[in-house]
Amino acid sequence: MSDFQDVLIAAREGEGWALGRLFRVTYPRFVCYVGAVAPADAEDVAADAWLDVARGLHRFEGDEQAFRAWAFTIARRRLLDLRRSRARRRTDPVDPGQLVAAGGTGDVEEEALTSLGTGWAIRLITSSLSPDQAEVVILRVIGELGVDEVAAIMGKRRGTIRVLQHRALRRLAQVLQGEGVTP
């Protein structure tokens, strides 16, 4: 976003267009990130994270990169909250067939085209890598975050993040080579 500061100021003042712009840039990335870790809860966790981001805009200070790091920190905390709540109580999942009547939202064609490539990549990442490696790759690529920001979000040292990323990329290259995909 070339005019991030202007959008941020307008969003703090409650301008709908500015909140919408921040939402369109942030929310889909939340869904991808959370969906890689907890696919069944991606929309709910992403929505909760977005609400926290929107409520906290008045407290945020920084540039666009700092905003992404701050926003993904919130998303990760909502994800950890979900894990903690699941550990405390068991829930009964709803049969996906019952949800068909609820229908979809948005542009179905655009969502389908986007999800084909993204969905395949997320499945490859989550099925081939350790949870920490997958989280690092997703935060770096989907979140467009730097090593320092990912380290702060995950509560790990910068060197650990770099090692996790290196091992993850090496592992993904091996998997892709095994499937006959050339980078």
Are 89 and 1 within one domain?
A: yes
Q: How many CB atoms lie within 10 A of CB 91?
A: 7
Q: Tell whether 98 is covered by a domain.
A: no
Name which of 160, 130, 108, 147 is nearest 36 in CA terms. Answer: 130
Non-local CB neighbours of 112 within 8 Å, separated by 6+ positions:
none
- Give the CATH number, domain containing residue 130: 1.10.10.10
Q: Domain holding 9: CATH number?
A: 1.10.1740.10
- Same-domain status, 33 and 85: yes
**Does residue 103 sit within a domain?**
no
Per-residue model confidence (pLDDT) at position 182: 57
Q: Provide the residue range defining the domain that includes 73.
A: 1-93
Residue 32's H or E segment, with its range, is helix 16-37
- Residue at 124: amino acid letter: L
CA–CA separation, 166 and 92 (whole Å):
38
Residues 86 and 137 in one domain: no
Asked if the structure places residue 102 within a domain, the reply is no
What pLDDT score was predicted for residue 166?
94
Hey, what are 164's tokens?
């996790």
- Phi, psi of 61, deg, nearest 5: -135, 130
In tens digits, the chain (183 residues) has pLDDT values of: 669 999 999 999 999 999 999 999 999 999 999 988 888 888 999 999 999 999 999 999 999 999 999 999 999 999 999 888 877 766 567 676 665 665 555 555 565 555 556 777 888 888 889 999 999 999 998 888 999 999 999 999 999 999 999 999 999 888 888 776 655
pTM over 0.75: no
Contact (CB, 8 A) for 53 and 19: no
Residue 22 tokens, joined:
């921040």
How many other β-carbons are positioned within 10 Å of the β-carbon of residue 52? 14
Q: What is the domain count for the chain?
A: 2
